[in-house]
Amino acid sequence: MPLTLFAHPFSSYCQKVLTALYENATPFTFRMLGPEDPEAGAEWAALWPMKRMPVLVDEGRPVFESSVIIEHLGLFHPGPVRLVPADPKVALETRIMDRFFDNYVMTPMQKIVLDHLRPAGERDPYGVAQAREQLDNAYRLLDRTLAEREWASGDMFTLADCAAGPSLFYADWVHEIETAFGHVRAYRARLLARPAFARAVDEARPYRKLFPPGAPDRD
């Protein structure tokens, strides 16, 4: 039975998993989560009552959480690009960097984006200021780390880079990476040039008008 992914092309966590699927040209059926397919939405909510996307279904078995989905693909549907390295020490560094991008780049980026969807009077300026400070700290730390690395955990493209692509892509839209952080800016450009992530970005272009703070005219 083929793999099925419940996702939306504009969602950052969905792009993380789409990048992994495209890296290995893994065949799958895409089920669009949006108003155009209410049936897919109902199936997804039944599969994962936490209602977070993406969800992968493999032989009827639902798999949740983007990082776990990518680990699952590597175990059960391996391809030429090994996204969790065989060397356990490099694998550990990969998982550390994956957590870094999800927790300290994706989370504050989403905080800033989602604040725009709150009703007037229910906005959270204090939380948004904290998110901006966290992004500044993350960019500073990353700039030091990336001074000596091509990819997030070393010289191979991994799970951590799948997380880095959409998190830095959208983070830069809401809290621009200063020119002082040249290594981070260059890394973001490398990610955008990587065909698998570039494909995910291209497929999401028609949805840019949905970006709550307004999408910039670039990338």
Query: Where along the sequence are the contacts to ligand GSH (CB under 6 A)?
Result: 11-13, 51-53, 65-66
Separation in Å, CA 130 to CA 78, 91, 111, 112, 166: 39, 31, 10, 10, 21
Minimal distance in Å, beta carbon 73 to ligand GSH?
13
Q: At what angle do helices 66-76 and 12-23 cross, to 10 degrees?
A: 10
Report the nearest approach of ligand GSH to the CB of residue 143 (Å): 25
Q: Which is nearer to ligand GSH, 67 or 153 (CB)?
A: 67
Cα separations (Å) of 184 from 32, 74, 75, 147, 215?
32, 27, 30, 9, 20
**In the complex, minimum distance from the CB of residue 3 to ligand GSH, in angstroms, rounded to a whole number:** 16
CB of 87 to ligand GSH, least distance (A): 24
Residue type at position 136: D
The smaller minimum CB distance to ligand GSH, of residues 12 and 94, is found at 12
Q: In what order do the strands lie in the sheet with 3-7?
A: 28-32, 3-7, 55-58, 61-64
Chain-centre distance for alpha carbon 187: 15
Instruction: Return the number of the residue (101 or 157) whose C-beta is nearest ligand GSH.
Output: 101
How do strand 55-58 and strand 3-7 relate by DSSP bridges?
antiparallel
CB nearer to ligand GSH: give 4 or 185. Answer: 4
**Nearer CB in complex with ligand GSH: 99/140:** 99
CB of 101 to ligand GSH, least distance (A): 10
Whichever of 55 and 128 has its CB closer to ligand GSH, that residue is 55
State the minimum distance, in angstroms, from the CB of residue 210 to ligand GSH. Answer: 11
